[in-house]
Amino acid sequence: MGSLHNYLSIADLEHAARRRLPACVRGYICGGTEDGLSLAESRNHFHRLGFAPRGLRNVAQRSAAVTLWGQRYALPLGFAPTGFSAIVLRDCDAALARVAREEQLPFIISGASTVALERLQEENANRCWYQAYIPGDMQRIRPLLQRLKQAEIPVLVITIDTCVAANRENLQRLRFTVPFQFSTKLLLDGLMHPRWTCQVFLHTVLTEGIPRFANLAHSIGPAITEDPPHGFRGGRDQLDWDCISQIRELWGGKLVS
């Protein structure tokens, strides 16, 4: 971590990460669906944002802090939910939760994360939000909500834009699948990136075993090399406004969708 002062921007970090990560991991982290049009358009929107300078203002007491739902954050930015982050860094979810706590930033647990949400709550001083990939089945939703309540999750974020699997053409070309499956191409790719293989892949497998779907449902799920009991997206095509209404009745915390 001491070498981070050598990176002066996010672009510097991305450039270094692209060199270090195997092609399949780069494709998952950096790629979009199909021709990448939505990804490009999202980047373009951010590029069009700018600041309007107002000179001769007293800014000695400047601050970018914001307060949301009674919680104060250092910036109006935070950590978006990222699934399978264990393929980037060993124990990555926990590391992100700790940094979010230290820097006073929002942190959203991904439903496809591999560190149990209860531990992430401890790492983040009980301030984590939780992003749910939920089916349109209240029999499966209720136990998950109970787990979130017991963990004292304050904000529930429901993802509604993945009712069916996206067409990730770049991942198909790289032979990257969810659940993760080994192939000759992936093994060769790993051998060409020895630092990632030793520090991430082997370190994780030898110390903790294969990462598991820790937060998809009310209990810890199978390894990321196996399908969850109902499939990774099973039942999401049935999620509708009636489900959201029932969730709202059962969930006493903040609800975002």
Q: What is the pLDDT of residue 204?
A: 92
Q: What is the CA radius of gyration of the chain?
A: 20
CATH no. for residue 127?
Answer: 3.20.20.70
Question: Bridge-partner residues for 79, per DSSP?
Answer: 107
Q: Is 147 part of a structural domain of the chain?
A: yes
Phi, psi of 187 (to 5 degrees): -65, -45
Give the C-alpha separation, 128 to 119, whole Å: 10
Q: Is 41 part of a structural domain of the chain?
A: no
Phi, psi of 8 (to 5 degrees): -95, -10
Q: Is 56 part of a structural domain of the chain?
A: no
Q: Is 122 part of a structural domain of the chain?
A: yes
Give the C-alpha separation, 63 to 41, whole Å: 30
Over 60: is that where the pLDDT of 234 sits? yes
- Residue 200 — very low, low, confident or very high, per pLDDT cuts 50/70/90? very high
Transcribe 50-97 into DSSP letters.
------S---TT----EEETTEEESSS--B---TTGGGTSTTHHHHHH
Q: Is 39 part of a structural domain of the chain?
A: no
Q: What is the pLDDT of residue 99?
A: 94
Q: Is 44 part of a structural domain of the chain?
A: no
Q: At CB < 8 A and 24+ separation, what contacts does 16-19 make?
A: 17/88
Q: How deeply is 5 buried, as exposed, middle or buried, from its count of CB atoms within 10 A (0-12, 13-18, 19+)? A: exposed
pTM of the model: 0.90
Q: Is 61 part of a structural domain of the chain?
A: no
- What's the average model confidence in pLDDT over 31-50? 89
**Residue 254 CB partners (closer than 8 Å, separation 6+):** 69, 154, 155, 156
Which of 103, 105, 102, 79 is closest to 92 using CA atoms?
A: 79
Q: Are the CB atoms for 123 and 101 separated by under 8 Å?
A: yes
**Residue 138 CB partners (closer than 8 Å, separation 6+):** 243, 246
Q: What is the pLDDT of residue 2?
A: 53
Count up the domains in the chain and report the number: 1
Q: Is 131 part of a structural domain of the chain?
A: yes
Torsion of CA 196, 202, 203, 205, to 10 degrees: 130
- Residue 163, CA distances (Å) to 121, 143, 166, 215, 232 in order: 28, 21, 9, 18, 11
Give the C-alpha separation, 144 to 109, whole Å: 14
Q: What is the pLDDT of residue 182?
A: 79
- Give the range of the structural domain holding residue 248, as residue numbers without chain letter: 8-32+68-256
